[in-house]
Amino acid sequence: AQSVTQLGSHVSVSEGALVLLRCNYSSSVPPYLFWYVQYPNQGLQLLLKYTSAATLVKGINGFEAEFKKSETSFHLTKPSAHMSDAAEYFCAVRPGGANNLFFGTGTRLTVIP
Amino acid sequence: EPEVTQTPSHQVTQMGQEVILRCVPISNHLYFYWYRQILGQKVEFLVSFYNNEISEKSEIFDDQFSVERPDGSNFTLKIRSTKLEDSAMYFCASSEAGRVAGNTIYFGEGSWLTVV
């Protein structure tokens, strides 16, 4: 069985502060992991993905995530938050051999000026 | 940049009515998907479609749902007799390939369905 848990449905950070959005997964087979972002009134946009190459993955807009197999985690980070980062962030897993994604419940990021 | 487009962006329908949600996937993509997100809940997989047939479907995708690729560009989701619990955001998505490591699924902006 595969699932994704995102700890914290809402996260607030000050502008310029570190962003840390947590994602833990369970998968019966080696997974591929994704972070998507949804800005207000827009669709889901891919931020970054892990596909069993480097464990530290860099994405768009300064975000990165590290795959830690021992912790079954794929946390999303950004060193310095910007107002434009305010959005909903979704972690998703695609088990190896599967064609569909399993999403977490999402984390809404608020950036405080 | 190529994108998945969906229409309508918002539809209100009465319970029991049929609804068709439309999508134009990215032109060179071969795999098409529908996902939905009930307000406050996670995004859930409904169905995937390849080579003019359903390749996978979830438990949610019961007999009231159907998908079709009526021509070379559109991909539709039909809900035959809508229920209140069908109210959700429906996302269409497409990908170039299927079960390969680097495969990325691209999503549209969603169609918000409200059943009253």
Write out pLDDT tens, residues A71-113: 999 999 999 999 999 999 999 988 776 778 889 999 999 999 9
The yes-or-no verdict on residue A58 having pLDDT over 80 is yes
Q: Given A36, A49, A101, which is nearest B45 (Cβ)?
A: A101
pLDDT of the residue at A59: 94
Pick the residue from chain B with its C-alpha nearest to A34.
B104
Q: Phi and psi (nearest 5°) for B75?
A: -140, 120
The yes-or-no verdict on residue B103 having pLDDT over 80 is no
Contact yes or no for A99 and B102 at CB 8 A? no
CB pairs under 8 A between A and B: 58
Q: Concatenate the DSSP letters of all residues of B49-108 into one string.
A: EETTEEEEE-TT--TTEEEE--SSS-EEEEESS--GGG-EEEEEEEES-SS-TT---EE-
- Mean per-residue pLDDT over chain B, rounded: 92
Q: What mean pLDDT is predicted for residues B14-28?
A: 96
Confidence bin at B100 (pLDDT 50/70/90)? low
Contact yes or no for B36/B44 (Cβ under 8 A): yes
The yes-or-no verdict on residue B42 having pLDDT over 90 is no
Q: How far is A74 from chain B (nearest CA, A)?
A: 17
β-strand pairing of A44-50 with A87-95: unpaired
Contact yes or no for A85/B85 (Cβ under 8 A): no
Contact yes or no for B91 and A99 at CB 8 A? no
Instruction: Please tell me which residue, B103 or B9, carries the higher pLDDT value.
Output: B9
Q: Given A41, A98, A102, which is nearest B99 (Cβ)?
A: A98
- Can you tell me the distance from the alpha carbon of B10 to that of B14, in angstroms, rounded to the nearest whole number? 14
Contacting B with CB below 8 Å, chain A residues are 32, 34, 36, 41-46, 49, 51-52, 90, 92, 94, 96-106
pLDDT of the residue at B39: 87
Residue whose C-alpha is closest to residue B34's, from B14, B58, B13: B58
Phi-psi region of B102 (alpha: psi -120 to 50; beta: other; left: phi over 0): alpha
The yes-or-no verdict on residue B101 having pLDDT over 60 is no
The one-letter amino acid at A92: A
- Can you tell me the distance from the alpha carbon of A51 to that of B106, in angstroms, rounded to the nearest whole number? 16
Give how far Cα A25 sits from Cα of A54, A98, B58, B84, Å.
Answer: 18, 15, 20, 31
CB proximity list for A96: less than 8 A, separation 6 or greater: A29, A30, A31, A32, B101
> Which residues in chain A are contacts of B111 at CB distance < 8 A?
none
Q: Given A44, A52, A90, which is nearest B101 (Cβ)?
A: A52
